[in-house]
Amino acid sequence: GEDVEQSLFLSVREGDSSVINCTYTDSSSTYLYWYKQEPGAGLQLLTYIFSNMDMKQDQRLTVLLNKKDKHLSLRIADTQTGDSAIYFCAEGEGSQGNLIFGKGTKLSVKP
Amino acid sequence: AAGVIQSPRHLIKEKRETATLKCYPIPRHDTVYWYQQGPGQDPQFLISFYEKMQSDKGSIPDRFSAQQFSDYHSELNMSSLELGDSALYFCASSSTLTEDEYSTDTQYFGPGTRLTVL
């Protein structure tokens, strides 16, 4: 069945780059998303990439997609303490299709 | 920009009671989704509606039902509540058409309703 996997924890120092990795299994996924969830809060859409793209950059965020290996990564440049949160990778087929989420990666940023 | 609105934000119920969660999608969004997120878990898809018709169904218990109304808001009805139903319930909306600053088919989530069953 469909599955999305992420490492559970990542710890970085303030100012460093963070790289959060994700692998997925559904080759029919059209969209791949990154959502951020702060404690007790909702899911904030950070960015997304279409499956026919290799890379997308949005300010401090860079998404890389290796479709052959079904590997997605999110790079956060100049990580700040405010970036501490859980980051969920999700795949979807778009057009009313539901999202399949990974377990989330908890990012801790140390000052 | 308008976001997805959910009410109530917090709800406490006892076992075997019923609960109704409401979701108001982003204006002009035609698709609504419901997800359940247990403590320390990832969100799990429950059900979705497109143009007021059920479009997909996930791991929604038979005790739960949902509908989308003519004004596009949606309600999730939960009966015979169990302790294991305690979770954060998210609603998300999307549009099949490109609208303003919202990307087509991208799901935008509400703040969630935290349901606690005692």
Residue of A nearest to B90 (CA): A42
Q: How far apart are CA B105 and CA B93, in angstroms?
A: 9
Distance of alpha carbon A92 from the chain centroid: 13
**What percent of chain B lies above the pLDDT cut of 90?**
76
Measure in Å the smallest separation between the Cα of B80 and chain A Cα atoms: 26
Residue A101, chain B, CB below 8 Å: the answer is yes
Measure in Å the smallest separation between the Cα of A59 and chain B Cα atoms: 17
Average pLDDT of chain B?
92
State whether A96 and B112 contact (CB < 8 Å): no
Residue A59, chain B, CB below 8 Å: the answer is no
Q: What pLDDT, in 10s, does the model give residues B67-109?
A: 999 999 999 999 999 999 999 999 999 987 765 666 777 899 9
Question: What are the backbone angles phi and psi of residue A83, rounded to the nearest 5°?
Answer: -85, -10
Q: How far apart are CA B6 and CA B52, in angstroms?
A: 18
- Tell me the residue ranges of DSSP E strands in A1-111: 4-6, 9-13, 18-24, 31-37, 43-50, 55-58, 61-66, 71-76, 85-92, 100-101, 105-110
Strand A85-92 to strand A105-110: parallel, antiparallel, or no bridges (unpaired)? antiparallel
Give B-chain residues touching A48 at CB under 8 angstroms.
103, 106
Residue of B nearest to A95 (CA): B105
State whether A96 and B107 contact (CB < 8 Å): no
| pLDDT value of residue B100 | 61
| pLDDT value of residue A44 | 93
Q: What pLDDT, in 10s, does the model give residues A53-111?
A: 889 999 999 999 998 899 999 999 999 999 999 999 999 876 667 899 999 999 999 98
Nearest to B42 among A48, A98, A101 (CB): A101
Please calculate the CA angle B80-B7-B35 and round it to the nearest 5 degrees: 65
Task: Give me A73's structure tokens.
Answer: 């990564």
- Nearest alpha-carbon partner for A107 in A66, A61, A64: A61
Sign of CA dihedral A75, A80, A82, A84: positive
